[in-house]
A and B are shown apart, each in its own frame.
Chain A
Amino acid sequence: MRRSFIERTLAALLRAMEHAAASERLSGGRGFLQSVDPRVKLLGCISLIVAAAVSRRLTLLGVLFVAVAVVALATRIPAAQLLRAWAILFAFTAAIALPALFTTPGDAIGSVAGLTITLQGMRSAAFLVSRVETSATLGLILVASTPWSRLIAALRSLHVPAAVVLIISMTYRYIFLLLRTAEEMFTARRSRSVGALRPAERRRMATSTAGVLLGKSMTLADGVYDAMRSRGFRGEVYLLDDFRMRSRDWGAAAVFAAAAALAFWRGLR
């Protein structure tokens, strides 16, 4: 039975909130990477994602994936959740890569139902899947080990302007308010007899909900602007900048750098 658009939207909104709650819980816990400086983790994970992207060797991608999986477990991401993310990602990527087994020209290595599978097709699909899984796991490690406010602040180390950093953290903060608002609106509308609505009315309900949300967003923006001015904001943004590298952070940075350099070197040869 197909769920109504309201049910599906509500499920999506709740999923986003649950994901955020889970990463908040994990990043506040005590795992392998939780206490490392967020800048080190951000730059480290990005350089490993790039290393995975650069690699021309499947074996290296395999090794990287295993290494990253170990780190993910050490970061105390529950194994079941990790497996679930991998499975969904695999199903998704494999579905996209599947026709490539047959469409990619090259050396035939077998056939299924009269269709020829090529070696190149197999390798191509393997590249896609292993890269996607490795990068996504690195992304997961990043959010599971770092409170998002710290992660956003760490963007300063990538030379993102202070105003943009403030915008990003403000966006994240108000996403929760708007998610909640949208959820309330949809819940209220679910309780009315939606099933009886004609399709055009359903569309109008969905778009006017979006319109209400937009109006609220703009009203909030005005209010926030006043609150900022009232507290001395005059166009230039100044932010707390209290990151301090300890020996532990330097150690982690060295490990990240070594791993990325090794992966680059092996992957390009």
Chain B
Amino acid sequence: MTDALFEVRAVRYAYDSLPALNGLDLTIRRGSRVALLGANGSGKSTFLRLLDALDFAQEGTIRFDGETLTPERLDDDAFAHSFRSRVGLVFQNPDVQLFNATVLDELAFAPLQLRLEKQEIRQRIDHVMNELDIAPLAGRPPHRLSMGEKKRVAIASVLVIDPEVLLLDEPTASLDPRSQSEIINLLAGWSGDARTAVTATHDLGIVEDIADHCVVFESGRVVAEGPPREIVQNEELLYRTGLLHAHRHRHESGVVHSHPHLHRHGDHEHSE
């Protein structure tokens, strides 16, 4: 058993002729909580899809726990079953993730496809519903859920398989501040020796809460890595990678001026 869970080497991936990943190198360690930072189109989402073996590297390799991820490998029943039980992806758009009739069916979907025992499925559903406080929603269809509820159910539908690796694509995007902080608390609580989390986000404000390691993406490449505190304070880097933008601000005195803005909700963090 090595310390490296995902080993990504010189990976390239392009949609038609549009490159998304350009020779990406990265190691994700077991038990770490990684934030992938980058502007829209920097390749974060593509990278998560590759980590979840929905797409495969066109050049280079991705190894999961020593096994190279290839379409052929995922055709193997035993490997596919173990991979899908160990790795879960929460999609950015919950309308894509919630395709079942009711919340209960949604939570049951993954365990059913993984052929768990009925008794076991019931227990897991009850457990995750309590943990995420969604038990009252069990019989509801997805179109009767608020955005925050949808997000929580989407996360629950993955947590119900009790994965070792949780991949999250923009978990706090398009949420109101309260739902956002609920999700952050939830993710902050999801940790442990055997639990690895990889979160793609461009929301700098949540990074310190949900990650102990930061990776900055630009044009399909890793341009920086480090502890969240360091990365968030590296203004020059953030400007260059499009994570920071000038923000026009009107003070009470009536003076208007521009200053860089961190995407943090709740307490505002200004660095002038």
B93 within 8 A of A: yes
User: By the criterion CB–CB under 8 Å, are A240 and B104 in contact?
Assistant: yes
- Tell me how many residue pairs across A and B have CB atoms closer than 8 Å: 89
| Interface residues as binary, A209-243 with B (CB distance below 8 Å gives 1, 0 otherwise) | 00000000000100110111111111011111000
User: By the criterion CB–CB under 8 Å, are B101 and A149 in contact?
Assistant: yes
User: By the criterion CB–CB under 8 Å, are B113 and A233 in contact?
Assistant: yes
Chain A positions within 8 Å of B143 at CB level = 173, 176-177, 180
Task: Tell me the bound Cα distance from A107 to B77 in angstroms.
Answer: 73
Task: Tell me the bound Cα distance from A147 to B49 in angstroms.
Answer: 35
A92 within 8 A of B: no
Write the chain B residue with the least CB distance to A234. B80
B112 within 8 A of A: yes
Task: Tell me the bound Cα distance from A24 to B88 in angstroms.
Answer: 32
Per the CB 8 Å criterion, the residue count for chain B at the interface is 37
B138 to chain A, nearest CB (A): 11
Given A231-B88, A232-B110, A232-B114, answer yes or no on A226-B105 (Cβ-Cβ < 8 Å).
Answer: no
B214 within 8 A of A: no
B128 within 8 A of A: no
Chain B positions within 8 Å of A233 at CB level = 109, 113
Task: Tell me the bound Cα distance from A173 to B85 in angstroms.
Answer: 26
Which A residues are closer than 8 A to B by beta carbons? Answer: 24, 28, 147-149, 152-153, 169-170, 172-174, 176-177, 180, 220, 223-224, 226-234, 236-240
Give B211-229 interface residues, CB cut-off 8 Å to A.
none
Give B86-132 interface residues, CB cut-off 8 Å to A.
88-89, 91, 93, 95-102, 104-105, 108-110, 112-115
A150 to chain B, nearest CB (A): 9
Task: Tell me the bound Cα distance from A228 to B93 in angstroms.
Answer: 14
B188 within 8 A of A: no
User: By the criterion CB–CB under 8 Å, are A226 and B161 in contact?
Assistant: no
User: By the criterion CB–CB under 8 Å, are A232 and B161 in contact?
Assistant: yes
B89 to chain A, nearest CB (A): 5
A-B contact pairs, 5 of them (CB 8 A): A169-B101, A223-B96, A230-B89, A238-B112, A238-B115
Task: Tell me the bound Cα distance from A263 to B158 in angstroms.
Answer: 50
Task: Tell me the bound Cα distance from A173 to B102 in angstroms.
Answer: 9
Task: Tell me the bound Cα distance from A148 to B141 in angstroms.
Answer: 9
Task: Tell me the bound Cα distance from A227 to B49 in angstroms.
Answer: 10
Chain A positions within 8 Å of B100 at CB level = 169-170, 173
B261 to chain A, nearest CB (A): 30
User: By the criterion CB–CB under 8 Å, are B157 and A231 in contact?
Assistant: yes
Write the chain A residue with the least CB distance to B158. A231
